[in-house]
Amino acid sequence: MNTSRSARPRRLLAAFCAGITAVAALLIAGTTAAHAADTPLRDLAAAHGMVMGTAVTGSKLTGTYGDLAGAQFSALTPGNAMKWGSVEPTQGSFNWAEADQIVAFAQAHDQQVRGHTLVWHSQNPSWLTNGTWTSAQLSTLLQNHISTEVGRYQGKIAAWDVVNEPFNEDGTYRSTLWYDGLGADYIANALTWARAADPAAKLYINDYNVEGVNAKSTALYDLVRSLKARGVPIDGVGLQAHLILGQVPATLQQNIQRFADLGVDVAITELDVRMALPADSAKLAQQAADYRAVTAACVAVARCVNLTVWGFTDSDSWVDSTFPGYGAATPYDADYAPKPAYYAISEGLGGGTTTPPTGACTATYAVSSQWGSGFTGQVTVSCAGASLSSWNAHWTFGAGQQLTQAWNATCTQSGTAVSCANASYNGSVPDGGSVSFGFNGTWSGSNPVPAVTFAS
C-alpha cells in the first residue's frame, strides 16, 4: 500500500515532464497538478470503508487519463475488456490483452479490480449467439467460460459481476440465451462455478433500474433471499445506477438497506447521470445534487462497499453514443476538468474542503423514508471554511410534490418553489458544523431529489 502512495507523486512528475514537448499536454498536466492538491476520492472513500471505482478503457490508461484513474480511484472495472465477446471472439481463441493490462495497472496502483461480466445477454461472441446448442452443451460452454476466465484472474479480482441484467422491468426473468436454454438455475450454477474457480472473489448479481424500490428490484431481492436460503454463493448486489438528471430514486437508501439487511454487500457499479445536451450551469448543479444524493445513500449504509462511476470523464462515456442527444454524464469534463459532480462526490464522501469558490456552505437534500403517497425529507446545511448566522434553503419540487409540514425550519411552498428559513434557535452554522431540518410531503408518480441552493 505504501508503495503506491509514494508512487503517485512520481507519476505526476513523469506526466509533467512528458508535457514539456507539447503545449496541450502542458495545460492538461497543469490541470492535473492543481487538482491533485484535493484529497483523492479514493482516500475519502476509504475513510468510510468504501472503494471508489471507475470503469476504464485499457488503451487510454496513460497520460492524464491514467494519472486520474490511478490517483482518484481505488477500484477499476474493465468497461468491455472482460466481456465474453472481448475475451473469446473466436471459439477457443482467447484475447486477454486489454483485461491483463487493466489488471496490471490496478496492481501497480494498489487498486481492486471488479470483474465485469461473466453471464449476460449482450456483447457475446457471434459464434456463441449464432450457434445451435443443446442445453447440456450450453451448460458446458458456460461452465468452461466461467472456469477459464475466473480461473485466469484467480486471486486478482475483488468482486465479479457474475450475472448481469437477468430481469425485465416487471420483475420476470429476461428471455436470454441462458434463461431460455437453461432455466432460472443458470444463475445459481454460474455463481457456484465462479466460487469454485476463485473462492476469495465476492460474487454479485448486477442490474439496472434496481436502484429504487420497485418491481424489478423486488424480484432481485427475492432472488437473493432464495439463493441464500438454498446455500448458493452470493455475496452482493450491484445497482448499476445509469441515471437521468433529476431522477435519483427517493427510495435509493431504503433499497440499499433492504439488501444489506438480507446479509449481502451492495455496490453502486455503473453510476452516471445523463442530461440533455448542451450542458449548462443549472443542469450541472442538478447533476451535482444527484451525484451527492447517490454518494450519501451509499455512505449511509455500512454494507454499501463500492461506489463506481461508469467512466470518469465525458470523453470516455457510453452515454453519447447510446442515448442520442444526451451526454455530460460523468464527474470530469472531456478535458479532464472536475465538474460540480466531482466536488459533490467529494463532499458526499466527507471531503469538505474541495468545494469550488461558489460558496463554502452547502445544502444536501435526502429522502429519509417514503411510503404510499407521503415522504419524509431532510436537508442538511454544512459549512467548511465559512459560517452562517442565518440561512434560507430553496428548491423546486419538479414532480408535483407538496410540502405538508416542517420542523426545525419555517418552510413555505408557492407553486413548485419551496423556501425554508432557519428557526430562531438554529440560524448559526459554524465553520465545520452543520444544521439539519426535516419535513413531510406528498408525492405521486416520482419523487426525484432536487438541487438545493441557499442564501444566508
Q: Which residue in 64, 112, 240, 253 binds ligand XIL (CB under 6 A)?
A: 240
Locus of grid cell 416542517: 406
**Which of 88, 270 has the CB closer to ligand XIL?**
270
Q: Which residue in 164, 209, 287, 306 binds ligand XIL (CB under 6 A)?
A: 164
Number of shown-chain residues binding ligand XIL (CB under 6 A): 6
DSSP state at residue 60 = G
Judged by CB under 6 A, the chain residues 36 through 95 that form the site for ligand XIL are 79-80
**Which of 240, 295 has the CB closer to ligand XIL?**
240
**Least separation in angstroms between CB 242 and ligand XIL:** 6
Q: Which residue is nearest to ligand XIL (CB)?
A: 318
Judged by CB under 6 A, the chain residues 297 through 326 that form the site for ligand XIL are 318
**Which of 89, 400 has the CB closer to ligand XIL?**
89
**Least separation in angstroms between CB 455 and ligand XIL:** 40
Cα 53 off chain centre by? 8
**Least separation in angstroms between CB 432 and ligand XIL:** 40
**Least separation in angstroms between CB 117 and ligand XIL:** 6
Q: Where are the alpha helices (DSSP H) in 174-307?
A: 177-182, 185-197, 215-229, 252-261, 281-300
Locus of grid cell 448499476: 240
Output phi, psi for 23, to 5 deg: -60, -45
Count CB neighbours of 208 within 10 A. 18
Per-residue binding letters, 334-373, with ligand XIL (x by CB under 6 A): ----------------------------------------
**Which of 65, 375 has the CB closer to ligand XIL?**
65
**Which of 79, 351 has the CB closer to ligand XIL?**
79
Active site residue 165: yes
All three cell numbers of 417: 418553489
**Least separation in angstroms between CB 270 and ligand XIL:** 6
Closest CA to 157 of 130, 211, 197: 197
**Least separation in angstroms between CB 343 and ligand XIL:** 24
**Which of 79, 327 has the CB closer to ligand XIL?**
79
446 DSSP β-pair partners: 444
Per-residue binding letters, 267-286, with ligand XIL (x by CB under 6 A): ---x----------------
Active site residue 169: no
**Which of 80, 413 has the CB closer to ligand XIL?**
80
Write the CB contacts of 115 (distance below 8 Å, at least 6 apart in sequence): 78, 82, 149, 150, 153, 157, 159, 160, 161, 201
> Parallel, antiparallel, or unpaired: how do β-strands 159-164 and 265-276 relate?
unpaired
Locus of grid cell 441552493: 453
Closest CA to 439 of 374, 381, 392: 374
Reported as type and span, the H/E element at residue 118 is strand 112-119
Write the CB contacts of 24 (distance below 8 Å, at least 6 apart in sequence): none
**Dist. CA 208–CA 161, nearest whole Å:** 13
Closest CA to 64 of 337, 341, 354, 311: 337
**Least separation in angstroms between CB 384 and ligand XIL:** 35
Q: Is 63 left (phi over 0), alpha (psi -120 to 50) or beta?
A: left
Task: Name the active-site residue from 88, 165, 211, 347.
Answer: 165
Q: Which residues are catalytic?
A: 165, 270
Which residues of this protein are in contact with ligand XIL, per CB under 6 A?
Answer: 79-80, 164, 240, 270, 318
